[in-house]
């Protein structure tokens, strides 16, 4: 069984961290290689406490009631240390805090004007840009009508409609301000 070198990096038949295993585990020959035992091994208990992390009186810990079994890196075994959380007094329950992703960090809108004003500006300038585009398109259609009376008339109607649309957009802001001021003064 012990014909081969340690393939897992542990020292054959060694115990604990010094052998490359977890505390109180033994480097044993498994079916086809050397490896650490799963959990504590009786040969590796030494004078240390078990199991690591348990308070005295819990889970079979060897420590006193107010002590916790912790791993000592120097000796490679568990040692008992006094731990206030092992006392029988109930621990205070901390207030739950929301995870950072659940906290709203966006803009705070406290007035309806903060929503309406940007939307009105976008619609206003967007409408003007579309009106200018249709004026250019109607001018192009007028230039390429080649004197054909029907195409010339259609291009003139498009140009007239685009100019009337731009005038309506420009006046709409003034009309809305007058209406809103009348409503507010009532």
Residue 134 has pLDDT above 80, yes or no: yes
What's the rounded Cα separation, in Å, for the pair 150 and 163? Answer: 20
Q: Is the pLDDT confidence value at 118 over 90?
A: no
Most confident of 86-95, 153-162, 176-185: 153-162
Query: pLDDT value at position 179?
Result: 86
pLDDT for 18 equals: 58
Question: Which residue's entry shows tokens 């398109």?
Answer: 137
What's the gap between Cα 135 and its chain centre? 49
Supply the pLDDT for residue 36. 77
pTM surpassing 0.85? no
- The contacts found for 12-16 with CB under 8 angstroms, 24 or more apart, are 15/41, 15/43, 15/44, 15/46, 15/76, 16/44, 16/76, 16/77
For 46-75, b where at least 16 C-beta lie within 10 A, e where not — what string? eebbbbbebbbeeeebbbeebbbbbbeeee
């Amino acid at each position: 069984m012990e014909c081969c070198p340690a393939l897992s990096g542990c020292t054959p038949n060694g115990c604990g961290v010094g052998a490359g295993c977890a505390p109180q585990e033994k480097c044993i020959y498994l079916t086809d290689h050397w490896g650490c035992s799963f959990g504590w091994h009786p040969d590796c208990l030494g004078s240390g406490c078990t199991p690591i992390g348990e308070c005295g009186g819990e889970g079979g810990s060897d420590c006193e009631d107010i002590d916790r079994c912790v791993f000592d890196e120097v000796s490679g075994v568990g040692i008992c240390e006094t731990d206030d959380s092992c006392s029988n007094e109930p621990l205070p329950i901390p207030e739950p805090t929301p995870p950072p992703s659940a906290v709203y960090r966006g803009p705070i809108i406290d007035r309806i004007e903060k929503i309406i004003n940007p939307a009105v500006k976008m619609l206003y300038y967007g409408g003007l840009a579309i009106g200018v585009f249709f004026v250019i398109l109607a001018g192009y259609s007028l230039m390429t009508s080649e004197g054909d009376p029907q195409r010339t008339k259609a291009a003139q109607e498009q140009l007239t409609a685009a100019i009337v649309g731009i005038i309506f957009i420009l006046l709409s802001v003034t009309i809305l301000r007058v209406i809103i001021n009348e409503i507010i003064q009532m």
